[in-house]
């Protein structure tokens, strides 16, 4: 059993802690939360050790750190965990810039600790089916990807919350949800060649925007359209089109409380079919994959390669740059830091 401390007991930190109560591979045993009354109350309720600071967590006899903290802290906190010889699982995005993410990755590599990332969409059975169909050739040559992951949960936040600011959240809709589908598209298409993106506040006063849309040329020449909204009820769709068929995944509910997926597909000359997939827990699957790699002491055992992790941050930063300057950003001209 990997014994971990969770850093940050906001909405997602509490969900992860509760999720891992059913794991036989990794368990949260301690927590750090700057709001002491909230932290102590939750720790007492959950049977966790309350720790007063991140430094205190790094000094504890623990195997791993789980970061559910604001994005601006990720780089320094990952580096500190790595230097303390603790494996580290970081919620997405690892960072808002490639340079920052690369420094975090280098610290983990140098200290021989495993780095996990909160891209749980990769662990959903329908998403894994898409990857297999492409690898087996059932979809033929990849042509196009369409994705939209939208929600309106952030409407409940106070106006000064960091998730609504440009400094804290960068390109808000992409940072909050769209990055999951961006990550999937890049992993299927081998990274990105170029990105053109738009992000506007059309329905809110969110400084970080509420309506994001992008057109991406993937490394293999296919194109992807990734979109995200922060002012509409939950919607999630991911569709892949190939020269021999297509497949579309529709989520029935948010990943925080999954209820399954509806998968439509047409392969070859077959008539379209619809299959209902029962709920699984991709958040648990991701963290248990991280725990297995940590127990083995092998980054290569973790299903998300470091190169792909950095590709996603690189493309995220390029998309954000495009939303600011209104131009196509070519990733080939960006420095490769590893």
Q: Is pLDDT above 90 for 336? A: no
CB 90 within 8 A of CB 101: no
Domain 2-119 has CATH 3.40.50.720: yes
The answer on pLDDT for 223 being more than 90 is: yes
Q: Assign domain 121-286+312-333 to its CATH architecture.
A: 2-Layer Sandwich (3.30)
Is the model's pTM score more than 0.85?
Answer: yes
Domain ranges in the chain are 2-119, 121-286+312-333
**Model pLDDT, residue 270:** 86
Predicted local confidence at residue 322, as pLDDT: 97
Confidence at 255, pLDDT banded by 50, 70, 90: confident
Taking only the tens place, the pLDDT of each residue in 80-127 is 999 999 999 999 999 999 999 999 999 999 999 999 999 999 999 999
């Amino acid at each position: 059993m990997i014994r971990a401390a969770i850093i940050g007991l906001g909405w997602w930190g509490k969900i992860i802690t509760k999720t891992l109560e059913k794991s036989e591979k990794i368990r949260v045993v301690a927590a750090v939360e700057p709001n002491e009354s909230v932290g102590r109350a939750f720790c007492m309720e959950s049977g966790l050790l309350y720790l007063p600071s991140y430094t205190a967590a790094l000094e504890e006899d623990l195997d791993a750190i789980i970061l559910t903290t604001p994005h601006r802290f990720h780089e320094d906190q990952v580096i500190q965990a790595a230097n303390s010889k603790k494996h580290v699982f970081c919620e997405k995005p690892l960072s808002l810039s490639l340079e920052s993410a690369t420094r975090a990755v280098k610290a983990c590599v140098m200290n021989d600790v495993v780095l996990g990332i909160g891209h749980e969409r990769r662990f959903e059975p329908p998403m894994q089916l898409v990857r297999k169909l492409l690898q087996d050739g059932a979809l033929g040559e990849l042509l196009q990807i369409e994705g939209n992951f939208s929600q309106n949960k952030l409407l409940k936040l106070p106006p000064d919350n960091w998730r609504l600011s440009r400094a804290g959240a960068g390109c808000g809709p992409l940072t909050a949800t769209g990055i999951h589908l961006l990550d999937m598209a890049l992993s299927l298409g081998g990274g990105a060649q170029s990105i053109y993106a738009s992000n506007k506040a059309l329905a809110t006063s969110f400084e970080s925007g509420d309506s994001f849309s992008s057109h991406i040329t993937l490394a293999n020449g296919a194109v992807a359209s990734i979109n995200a909204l922060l002012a509409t009820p939950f919607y999630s769709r991911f569709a892949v089109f190939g020269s021999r068929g297509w497949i579309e995944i529709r989520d029935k509910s948010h990943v925080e409380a999954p209820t399954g997926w509806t998968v439509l597909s047409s392969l070859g000359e077959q008539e379209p079919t619809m299959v209902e997939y029962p709920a699984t827990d991709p958040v648990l699957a991701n963290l248990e994959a991280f725990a297995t790699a940590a127990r083995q002491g092998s980054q290569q055992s973790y299903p998300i390669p470091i190169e792909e992790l950095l590709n996603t941050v690189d493309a995220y930063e390029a998309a954000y740059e495009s939303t600011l300057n209104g131009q196509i950003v070519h990733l080939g001209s960006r420095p490769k830091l590893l």
